[in-house]
Amino acid sequence: MALFDPPGSLEGERLEDGFGRRFSYLRLSLTDRCNFRCTYCLPNGFVKQQGLPSELSSEEIYRAVAAFAGLGLWKLRLTGGEPTVRHDFTEITRKLREIEGIRRIAMTTNGYRLAQRASEWREAGVDAVNVSIDTLDPKAFASLTGHDRLADVVAGVDAALEAGFDTVKVNSVLLRDLERSGWDDILRFVETRDLSWRFIEFMRTNDNTAFHEQQATPGEIVRDRLLAAGWEPQSREIGAGPAVDYAHPAYRGRIGLIAPYSPGFCESCNRLRLSSRGRLHLCLFGTEGLDLRELLQRDDQQEELVSRIVAAMPGKSRGHRLNEGDSGATPHLASIGG
């Protein structure tokens, strides 16, 4: 696996919150539209809400990212909704790459166009790609996402491996009905592929409470199964997210676990989020967010924009309150950028 070059030092991280956490990572939602209908996220598909402002234009996006980069955030993740439904996705990526201070661009996608576009996006400047696959059973995949396209998405993963991204990861939401039955398929999948299959504990949002109650499964189940089968936890890279990856000599790929319900999960939080309508979210499960849009209109507003971001930082809470059944103001992850 080719590792990315971390910055020479982390002194670039100048933005700090009230708990001494420093921020290197911006998750940027390009759109809240999505073409999939995942049961736990947008079960009825994307529904346009009347009265909301439009998505940020590419110019507004560049101004926002330039301000965050000036504050030392050097890693970007393009997400959504489904970021690749934006017709200007490739062009946006290419220009973001030119912003001083941005050293790494990752994207998260449902993979529906990845088989055709992997090389184009790599060439435009995407360093790392995460593809969402919750199950390798084609029928269960179709039922969960509303699209009978598992084969296309798997072809997309293989195209991404071919295209030479620094890392390819699979995001897989840990659902009770799927985790046992799908285990052997997943082991076969990672046996020969140089990627990391990441289980993510299913998080409760305001729209999925009933489904969450039925399907939530603690990450310990995966961890215990891995340890019992001889998988070993790996040390984390600089700037890496909260996942713990496990490796096994008989497998080329790794299996990881992201456990937002585990104690201390937020202690090392290094990320901020900007919604596709220009709201700064200090936490995925926080408030409605702080509007930055009026300060994204002209290049000469950068100073004011930076001051507004800095002034917001003391408002970042110590951690989310998912364990108390409080999902903040978040209806589903597509609304902020999962």
Structure tokens at 49: 């809400």
Q: Of these, 15, 34, 69, 153, which contacts ligand SAM (CB under 6 A)?
A: 34
Size of the site for ligand SAM (CB under 6 A): 20
- Residue found under tokens 């020479």: 8
**Complex with ligand SAM: residue 109 or 270, whichever CB lies closer:** 109
Cα–Cα distance, 173 to 157 (Å, whole number) = 17
Q: Which whole-number Å values give the CA distances from 159 to 148, 218, 300, in the listed order?
A: 19, 32, 42
**Complex with ligand SAM: residue 306 or 329, whichever CB lies closer:** 329
Q: Of these, 24, 110, 196, 270, which contacts ligand SAM (CB under 6 A)?
A: 110
Q: Give every strand in the sheet of 196-201, ordered side by side.
A: 232-233, 244-247, 254-258, 196-201, 167-174, 128-132, 104-109, 75-80, 25-31, 271-274, 279-281, 290-291
Could you say whether residue 312 binds ligand SAM (CB under 6 A)? no
Q: Of these, 74, 199, 202, 251, which contacts ligand SAM (CB under 6 A)?
A: 202
Q: Of these, 79, 135, 275, 276, which contacts ligand SAM (CB under 6 A)?
A: 79
Cα–Cα distance, 38 to 296 (Å, whole number) = 32
Could you say whether residue 121 binds ligand SAM (CB under 6 A)? no
Q: Of 89-97, 106-114, 189-197, 296-304, which part binds ligand SAM (CB under 6 A)?
A: 106-114
Q: Of these, 24, 132, 167, 215, which contacts ligand SAM (CB under 6 A)?
A: 132
To which H or E segment does residue 160 belong? helix 150-163
Question: What Rg value do the Cα atoms of the chain yield, rounded?
Answer: 19
Could you say whether residue 207 binds ligand SAM (CB under 6 A)? no
Binding residues for ligand SAM, rule: CB under 6 A, are 34, 40-41, 79-80, 82, 108-110, 132, 171, 173, 200, 202-203, 205, 208, 333-334, 338
